[in-house]
């Protein structure tokens, strides 16, 4: 008999959630996350990301649907499924008056790992997350970035095969964000499947090989990041003229618009040359001092997919 194919790290089928107040947060979510994947779950506020994660991690009850983690059904074997998952919540939920080594080792204890082994594993995770020097200081004295790394160490201590992070870099500065990205890439490279939610599209574009976009309780896109970006037929560029221009040059192929700050916005077909644009501008006597992409490409796509949420800007 041929060997059975490996089950996906996560399989969700027909997931529905109606809260007591009648809000239909999930309206039939299907999702497959392959083993070893780095997967992004994106969507505007209120789309259903936290609800999905809450159900996968058994913190929220589902109304209907099924979930398997590496082939283990989370309803039939919640304990078995939980051992396979590490979760890093969005909010800092550390006991501020405990020490990192204790916090991480104690978490291992919740999974029935004997104390001696728990301490060894905690030490390893703290070393990995660059927190070994801080193992015996009060958690509250750690910087914001260190607290987040501590939460990741805590989530990894029982050796989960799937790590789920809810907005791992929300509200942190760019340096901490980049350091966190590096750690997450290392964790993924070590074989752990990662799913994260984020509203920083740059984060998804940088880290995730596959992206699902959820909107109003439904998956509206689920594809690899590259094909998602290729869906964009055009890119928008902003050109800053050396001298202010009174009138938009005639550029029918580029749909130019004059912005309030005097810059010119143009649409440029992906893959085509920009030379023509500059030649036309040159002929019209418009000299350009600088040029930039209007938005991160994924951001443009995201806004297009969730167009009915004009208030959502990442
Ligand atoms: P996201 O994480 O994408 O921002 P959520 O899963 O938190 O979205 O929310 C999805 C929808 O469910 C929203 O309309 C939200 O207001 C609603 N919701 C979330 N949690 C609760 C709750 N505990 N009780 C009632 N409604 C909720």
pLDDT at 271: 67
- Indicate whether 220 and 294 sit together in one domain: no
CATH number, domain containing residue 241: 3.30.70
- Indicate whether 111 and 150 sit together in one domain: yes
Look at strands 288-293 and 234-241 and give their pairing: antiparallel
Separation between Cα atoms, residue 46 and residue 27, nearest integer Å = 13
Does residue 153 form part of some domain? yes
Mean pLDDT of the chain: 89
pLDDT at 205: 85
- Indicate whether 199 and 254 sit together in one domain: no
Does residue 278 form part of some domain? yes
Q: Residue 239 in contact with residue 284, Cβ under 8 Å? A: no
What is the CB < 6 Å shell around ligand 1?
19, 21, 23, 25, 43, 45-51
- Indicate whether 282 and 214 sit together in one domain: no
pLDDT, tens only, 204-217: 888 999 999 999 99
Residue tagged 């036309």 (tokens): 280
Q: Does pLDDT of 311 surpass 60? A: no
Q: Residue 264 in contact with residue 245, Cβ under 8 Å? A: yes
* Closest ligand 1 atom, residue 54 Cα: 6
pLDDT, tens only, 24-55: 999 999 999 999 999 999 988 899 999 999 99
* Closest ligand 1 atom, residue 21 Cα: 25
Separation between Cα atoms, residue 12 and residue 68, nearest integer Å = 7
Stretch (H or E) spanning 257: strand 257-258
pLDDT confidence tier of residue 123, bands split at 50, 70 and 90: very high
What domain count does the chain have?
Answer: 2
Does residue 140 form part of some domain? yes
Does residue 44 form part of some domain? yes
The whole-angstrom distance between residue 195's C-alpha and the CA centroid of its chain comes to: 7
Segment 176-200 mean pLDDT? 92
Does residue 1 form part of some domain? no
pLDDT at 115: 94
pLDDT confidence tier of residue 203, bands split at 50, 70 and 90: confident
- Indicate whether 200 and 83 sit together in one domain: yes
pLDDT, tens only, 4-31: 788 999 999 999 999 999 999 999 999 9
**55 alpha carbon to ligand 1 midpoint, in Å?**
12
* Closest ligand 1 atom, residue 214 Cα: 3
Lowest mean pLDDT among 25-29, 134-138, 145-149: 145-149
- Indicate whether 138 and 261 sit together in one domain: no
Nearest CA to ligand 1 atom 13: 46
193 backbone dihedrals φ, ψ, rounded to 5°: -70, 140
Does residue 3 form part of some domain? no
- Indicate whether 165 and 22 sit together in one domain: yes
Residue predicted with more confidence, 300 or 169 = 169
Last residue of a domain, one of 188, 210, 229: 229
Q: Residue 8 corresponds to which tokens in the numbers above?
A: 């996906």
Last residue of a domain, one of 229, 254, 272: 229
* Closest ligand 1 atom, residue 43 Cα: 3
Strand residue runs (E) in 114-248 = 162-166, 193-198, 210-215, 218-224, 234-241
CATH number, domain containing residue 105: 3.40.50.300
Q: Residue 26 in contact with residue 43, Cβ under 8 Å? A: no
Nearest CA to ligand 1 atom 21: 19
Nearest CA to ligand 1 atom 9: 46
- Indicate whether 47 and 111 sit together in one domain: yes
Separation between Cα atoms, residue 289 and residue 299, nearest integer Å = 25
**51 alpha carbon to ligand 1 midpoint, in Å?**
6
pTM over 0.85: no
User: Which of 27, 51, 311 best tests ligand 1's pocket when mutated (most atoms within 8 Å of CB)?
Assistant: 51
Domain encompassing residue 97: 10-229
Q: Which residues pair with 231 in a beta bridge?
A: none
Q: Does pLDDT of 226 surpass 50? A: yes
pLDDT, tens only, 277-304: 888 888 888 899 998 877 666 666 777 7
pLDDT confidence tier of residue 313, bands split at 50, 70 and 90: very low
- Indicate whether 189 and 66 sit together in one domain: yes
Does residue 176 form part of some domain? yes
- Indicate whether 196 and 110 sit together in one domain: yes
**18 alpha carbon to ligand 1 midpoint, in Å?**
10
DSSP 3-state of 293: strand
pLDDT confidence tier of residue 151, bands split at 50, 70 and 90: very high
* Closest ligand 1 atom, residue 17 Cα: 12
Last residue of a domain, one of 185, 209, 229: 229
Separation between Cα atoms, residue 160 and residue 82, nearest integer Å = 9
- Indicate whether 30 and 86 sit together in one domain: yes
- Exposed, middle or buried by CB within 10 Å (0-12, 13-18, 19+), for 164? buried
Q: Does pLDDT of 312 surpass 60? A: no
Give percent above pLDDT 90 in the chain. Answer: 61
- Indicate whether 211 and 252 sit together in one domain: no
Residue tagged 């020490």 (tokens): 99
């Amino acid at each position: 008999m041929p060997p059975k194919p490996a089950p996906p790290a996560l399989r969700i089928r027909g997931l529905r959630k109606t809260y007591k107040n009648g809000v239909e947060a999930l309206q039939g979510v299907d999702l497959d996350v392959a083993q070893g994947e780095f997967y992004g779950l994106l969507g505007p506020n209120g789309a259903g990301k936290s609800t999905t994660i809450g159900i996968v991690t058994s913190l929220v009850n589902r109304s209907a649907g099924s979930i398997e983690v590496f082939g283990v059904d989370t309803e039939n074997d919640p304990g078995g499924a939980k051992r396979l998952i590490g979760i890093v919540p969005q909010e800092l939920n550390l006991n501020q008056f405990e020490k990192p080594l204790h916090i991480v080792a104690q978490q291992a204890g919740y999974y029935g790992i004997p104390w001696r082994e728990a301490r060894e594993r905690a030490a390893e995770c703290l070393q990995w997350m660059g927190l070994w020097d801080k193992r015996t200081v009060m958690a509250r004295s750690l910087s914001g970035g260190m607290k987040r790394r501590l939460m990741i160490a805590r989530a990894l201590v029982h050796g989960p095969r799937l790590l789920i992070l809810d907005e791992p870099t929300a509200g942190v500065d760019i340096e901490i964000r980049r350091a966190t990205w590096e750690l997450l890439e290392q964790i993924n490279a070590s074989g752990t499947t990662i799913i994260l939610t984020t509203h920083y599209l740059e984060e998804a574009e940088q880290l995730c090989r596959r992206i699902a976009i959820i909107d109003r309780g439904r998956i509206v896109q689920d594809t690899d990041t590259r094909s998602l970006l290729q869906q964009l037929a055009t890119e928008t560029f902003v050109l800053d003229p050396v001298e202010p221009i009174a009138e938009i040059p005639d550029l029918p192929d580029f749909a130019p618009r004059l912005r309030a700050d005097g810059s010119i916005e143009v649409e440029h077909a992906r893959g085509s040359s920009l030379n023509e644009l500059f030649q036309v501008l040159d002929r019209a006597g418009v000299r350009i001092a600088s040029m930039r992409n209007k938005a991160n490409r994924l951001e443009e796509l995201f806004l297009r997919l969730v167009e009915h949420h004009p208030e959502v800007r990442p």
